[in-house]
Each structure stands twice: as structure tokens, then as C-alpha cells.
Chain A
Amino acid sequence: MTGSIARLKRHPAAPWAGAAIVALALLALPFALAAVGTAWVRITNLAILFVFLSLGLNIVVGFAGLLDLGYVAFYAVGAYVYALLASPHFGIHWPFWAILPLGAAVAALFGVLIGAPTLKLRGDYLAIVTLGFGEIVRIFLNNLSQPVNITNGPQGIARIDPFRLGGIDFSKSDNFLGLSFSGPIKYYYLLLAVLLAVIFINVRLQNSRIGRAWEAIREDEIAARAMGIDTTRVKLLAFSMGATFGGVAGGMFSAIQGFVSPESFVLVESIMVVSMVVLGGMGNVWGVILGAVLLSFVPEILRFTVEPAQKQLFGRMIIEPEVIRMLIFGFALVLVMTLRPGGLWPSTVRKRELAERRP
């Protein structure tokens, strides 16, 4: 039996067959989930958004080795750009294909603005400055409701337009080929398509000239500079490229949720994305995806297990699932870094680098 499996694995068509199975599973997934409950399709959509965010942050943290703790700020920028240009708040209703690139560009601009003064400095300063930047963006979102009401303050912006493409409205159900496609399922397929593009970009980036420059900087910045790499420019590129991904993910988040408020863009979200990247394996695209999927589903699974279990055992909630979730993130960061610094699925280069200890 094992022998025949090994023979199958060696077959030249094996990778294609594997890919086909994965593709079929991904295509069928939303219908299987919808059978359990539409909520799970929504949860999966959010998980895919977190995969985007993690892949974007992976460019900064994993490829270039810069710690960005305010990544959610770019997500917020993208989300608010979409919300302001496609909602009754200002009465502007642009189509999504016009806003998403704009949101990405604005996020990238913010990335350059915050990166330019700090990227010349040591990496740890960047961590703090980005952390502060994330907080500043949130404070502004909360307070820019007066004297001119731009962000509507803590109440946030509601009734944001969904994606509309031709006659297809992504918030409504459609029948197609005898199957009923609900709103979340349509978003799922859209997200899946974008996800493939994002993964493709990331893999290509990693093996490109610029990807190798990032790797060189991460391993030894002084040596990289000696090799003729314009380190500040290349780091800025990583930073703004990561910001771009954040901006796109933010725009999609806005459309899918139909509502944004500063609540969604707190520091915890940034740390969550960092945890996903670290747990999965910094620098490895597939590892990061694994980390993001794992940590996105953990809170949902906790909600369905820990709550009833505690109610059954003690008659009331003793530890809220929210707390357990955060403790899992915290311990994931500490334990992964001390015990398995490459993450669950380490990239080969990163593993080599982290295993080697400087005196």
C-alpha cells in the first residue's frame, strides 16, 4: 500500500493532480460551509482578508526583516478611503474598481510618509514609530468628526456600498447554473481570485532582484550596502509595498462588512497579524498563509467550544474566549521565537539565519 503511494508521488503528473484536488476543494468549500451555516462563510472570508494582511506584512517583516507594529493603520486607511467614497456619508458612490487602487495608493503614500524619516534608523525604532503611527491614525479617525465631519468619529461609517460588477451585486443572492450563490459566497470567490493573484505576486517578489535585496538587508544591512544596494530606498519599497496590500485588504473589508469604525483598527489587530506571520514562519509565503488561517479560526472555534464548556462545567463564564485568544497570541509569539524561531513552516533561508547565533 505505502509502496503504491510512493510510486504515485513520483508520477510526473502528481503535482498537477495535487493542485487540482486543492482547487476543487477550495471551489466546493463555501457550499460545504454554507450547509453548516452562512456565518462560517463570512468567517472564512475574513480569514482570507487576514491572509492578505499577513502576506502584506510578510513583505515587511519576513522578506525585509523590519518590524511594523502599526500595520493595521494601512488597513484602516484603505478601509476609510473606500468607506468615504462609496457610502451615503458624503453621498459619493464610486465603483469599487476605481476606489481600490486609490485606497492602495493612499496607503502606500502613508507608508512612504512614515517610512522615509525612520527607515534610515535602526530597526527597533521603526517598530516603535509604526506602533505610534498606528495609534495616531486611530486617534485621528476617532476625532476627525469635528469641526468638519470627515470620519464620523467613533460611530463610524455605515451603509457602505457592496461591490457591484456589471449586473452582479455582491450583497444579494443570485442563481447561477442551478446553484444559489449568496452574497458571502460570491465574495468568497472574488477573494479567492484576488488571493491567487496576491500569492503569485508574493512568490514572484521573493525570487526577484528586489526580493534578494530585501533578503540581503535582512541578513546584514551593512554588507548589503557594501554590495551596492540602496538600503533606504529598498526598505522604503518593502514598507510601501506592504502598505499597499494593507490598503487593498482594507477596501475589501469595508465593502464586505458594509460598516467601518475605529474599533476595527486597534493595536490588537496589528499584533494579531504579526502573530500570524511569526507563527506561520516569517519569510515563507505558505507558512504565513497557514499561520493566518490557523489564527483566524482559533477565536471562532474557541467561541463554539470554550463558552459552552465553561457554562457546563462552572455554570458561568470564568475566562472569556477573548482573553484565551489573546493569551494564545501572546504565547504563540514567545514560544515560537524561543523554541522554533522559523515558525511552523519555516523558509529555508530564514531557518538558516535564525539557527545561527551571533556571539
Chain B
Amino acid sequence: MDIFIQQVINGLTLGAVYAMVALGYTMVYGIIQLINFAHGEVVMIGAMVAFSVIGALAPSGLPPLAIVLVAAGCAIPVCMLVGYAMERLAYRPLRGAPRLAPLITAIGVSIILQHLAMMIWSRNPLAFPQIIKVESYHFAGATITSVQIAILAISLAMMAGLAALVYRTRLGTAMRATAHNPQVAGLMGIDANRIIALTFVIGAALAAVAGVMVASYYGIAHYAMGSQLGLKAFCAAVLGGIGNIPGAMLGGVLLGVVEALGAGYIGDLTGNVFGSNYQDVFAFIVLIAVLVLRPSGLLGERVGDRA
């Protein structure tokens, strides 16, 4: 039972990160039906920028919390810029082109970002400086660290903020209108291109925060960390129903828990034939299961057009 609670805590933490990244996929997909393959790389860039800023400020004697906040404060605008540039240069020229085209440029962007990062920050994994002392709290036989609490609290706050933005403001209304029908939204005086760019930028900001969180959680930043994380977050978005914002949040958290429990119990369940080194497989099994059983995801609407 103790292991169970522990794995649920770990899973919720990881799931919160997945959810933040999944939101970026789902918002973009909801608005222009594009899988933004390069979204995972934005997460990586967020982590890398934070790494550099923390490294530069650590000897300055500022309070650690302030340094981390400044790092996140630098990572967010950089990622927003990357998100905007990506939309502007690689996706906007292909608006209206066959589906395959932006998907291919997305892969190209992903490779370019990854290898630029490799040039700037080295090909080796970087030890992400953990300057804030990590406290552990024990309850019911399980341990929760201050980092985990911070991740859960920050992502809850950001998701609440996003929900308020999308469902309570004029901008949010415009976003939902564009997602629903870009032509009609255009007739109503909404600049669809601006809304699409904003969607990318908001997604990138969430990704930047997710990047800082995941790097501090694992204590590692690596130029290739984004692709796998992005892939799993995409699975989470599909699990929740792609294009659906609450779905992405639910999907992320569920996927995190499934992964943690799976990794915790697979050894016992299969008599140690499979070990926790198969952890990365669960996300894809979930993805394929969802696509076979309920392609619209948990909260998604059933769509008629399959082509």
C-alpha cells in the first residue's frame, strides 16, 4: 500500500507536467488541426535557458527562490518567441496546404531546434542545479518532496489561469470561435492568424514552465529531453480527447499515474520478466488502446470526418 501511495504521488507530479505540455498540443490542434511535433523541443529550450540563467546567477548570492523565478522569467519569453517564430516561418506559409505538409515541416523544426540546442548547450546531459534545498515530508508511509508540491501547485495555478483565459475573456472567446470555424470567426472580425499565433505563444509559455519543472524534478537537462516528453504529452492529449482543454489536463494526470503505477508494479505482475525499463512503453500502449477503443478520447466529441 505504501508503494501504491508513493507511485500515485510520483505519477501525479509527472502527470501535472504532461498536462502542461499536452495543453500546448491540444490548443494548437483544436485551432488548426496540426500536430505540432516541435512542441516538445520548446519544453527542452525552456529547461536549457533556465539552466543557463541559474548557472549564471548562482554565484551572485541572490536568494535561491529569486534565482529560480528569474530563470523561469527568462525561459518563458524565450520560449514564446520560439513558438511564435515556429508558427510564422514553418506553419503559416502552409496554411491550406495538404495535411502532410505542415506535419513534415514540424519534424524539420523539431530537428533544427534540437541540434541548435546541442550546439549551444553540448550533447551531454547537464546537471540541472538544484539550488533550493529539497525538503521531504512523510505521511501514510510515503514521501513527498517540496519540489513535487511546488510542481503540483504551480501547474494547478497555471491550468486554472488558462481555463479562466479561455472560458472567461474576450481573447478566449475569440480562440474558441476560431477553433470552431475560422472562416465565420473571420467574418465576425477576428484576425484568425493573430489568434493562431497567440495560441502557439500561450502553449509555448506553458511548455517553458513545464521544462523548468521537469528539469528541476529530475535534476537533468538534455538536448533530446523534449522529444520523448513531447511524445508522451501528445499521448496524454489524445487520451483526454485532442482539441479538448480539460481533456488534456485529465489525460496528462491519468497518463502520469498509469506510467508510475505501471513502472512500479510491472515487475511483480510479470514475475520480473519485464522491469521498470519498459516504463516508456506504457504511454504508447495507452495511445494505441485509446485509438482503437475510443479515438475521440475520454472527453472529446465524436467527429464524423475521418479523412
> How far is A338 from B231 in the complex, measured between Cα atoms in Å?
25
Q: Chain B residues near A222 (CB, 8 Å)?
A: 305, 307
Across the interface, do A327 and B112 meet the contact criterion of CB distance under 8 Å?
yes
Across the interface, do B108 and A330 meet the contact criterion of CB distance under 8 Å? yes
Q: Is A353 an interface residue (CB 8 A)?
A: yes
Q: Which residues of B contact A275 (CB under 8 A)?
A: 108
Asked whether any CB of chain B lies closer than 8 Å to the CB of A213, the reply is no
Q: Within B92-109, which residues are at the interface with A (CB < 8 Å)? A: 93-94, 96-105, 107-109
B215-260 interface with A by 8 A CB criterion: 227-228, 231, 234-235, 238
B165 contacts chain A at the CB level, 8 A cutoff: no
Distance, CA A338 to CA B87, complexed state (A): 12
On whether the beta carbons of A357 and B105 are closer than 8 Å, the reply is no
The answer for the CA separation of A337 and B110 in the assembled complex, in Å, is 14
Closest B residue to A359 by CB, please name it: B96
Stretch at the interface among B3-11, B60-68, B275-283: B275-283
Q: Is B115 within 8 A of A354, CB to CB?
A: no
What is the interface size of chain A, counting residues whose CB is below 8 A from a CB of the partner? 50
Interface residues of B in 130-158 (CB under 8 A from A): none
Cα A201 to Cα B294 with chains together (Å):
38
A331 lies within 8 A of chain B by Cβ? yes
For A353, list chain B residues within 8 Å (CB). Answer: 98
In the bound complex, residues from chain B placing their C-beta under 8 Å from that of A337 are: 94, 97, 101-102, 104-105, 108
Q: Is the CB–CB distance between A121 and B104 below 8 Å?
A: no
The interface residues of chain A, by DSSP majority, are classed as helix
A65 interface contact, C-beta 8 A: yes
Which B residues touch A331, using CB under 8 A?
108, 112
Q: Is B119 interfacial (CB-CB < 8 Å)?
A: yes
In the complex, whether A209 has a CB less than 8 A from a CB of chain B is: no
Encoded as 1 (CB less than 8 Å from any A CB) or 0, chain B from 7 to 45 comes to 000000000000000000000000001110000000000
B266-297, CB under 8 A of A: which get 1 and which 0?
00000011010110110110011001100100
Q: Is the CB of A127 within 8 A of B103?
A: yes
A327–B94 Cα gap in the complex (Å)? 21
Q: Is chain B's interface secondary structure helix, strand, loop, or mixed overall?
A: helix
A326: Cβ under 8 A from any B Cβ: yes
Any B CB within 8 A of the CB of A54? no
Asked if residues A124 and B35 are in contact (CB atoms below 8 Å), the reply is yes
* Cα–Cα, bound, A174→B282 (Å): 51
Contacts A121-B295, A122-B307, A135-B231 hold; do A354 and B97 have CB atoms under 8 A apart? yes
The answer to whether A338 and B105 touch across the interface, beta carbons within 8 angstroms, is yes
How many angstroms between the C-alpha atoms of A302 and B134 in the bound complex? 47
* Mask of B167-180 contacts with A, CB within 8 angstroms, 1/0: 00000000000000
Contact of A333 among B99, B104, B277 (CB under 8 A): B104
Cα–Cα, bound, A123→B280 (Å): 23
**A143-B3 Cα distance, complex, nearest whole Å:** 24
Inter-chain contacts of B99 with A (CB < 8 A): 123-124
The one of A69, A129, A338 in contact with B93, judged by C-beta atoms closer than 8 angstroms, is A338
Does A147 lie within 8 Å of B273, measured CB to CB?
Answer: yes
| A326-B284 in contact given A123-B99, A334-B108 (Cβ < 8 Å) | no
Nearest A residue (CB) for B293: A117
Evaluate contact between B284 and A132: CB separation under 8 angstroms. Answer: yes
B302 located at the interface, meaning its Cβ lies under 8 Å from any Cβ of chain A in the complex = no
Instruction: Tell me how far the C-beta of A38 lies from the nearest C-beta in chain B, rounded to whole angstroms.
Output: 30
List 14 extra interface pairs beyond A67-B100, A135-B228, CB under 8 A. A65-B100, A121-B291, A125-B295, A127-B103, A129-B287, A135-B280, A139-B277, A271-B107, A323-B119, A330-B110, A334-B89, A341-B101, A353-B98, A358-B96
| A residues whose Cβ falls under 8 Å from a Cβ of B | 61, 65, 67, 69, 117-118, 120-125, 127-129, 131-133, 135-136, 139, 142-143, 147, 220-222, 267, 271, 274-275, 278, 319, 323, 326-327, 329-334, 337-338, 341, 353-354, 357-359
- A/B interface sample: 14 pairs, CB < 8 A: A61-B100, A122-B307, A128-B231, A132-B283, A132-B288, A139-B278, A139-B280, A222-B305, A327-B115, A329-B111, A333-B108, A337-B101, A337-B105, A337-B108
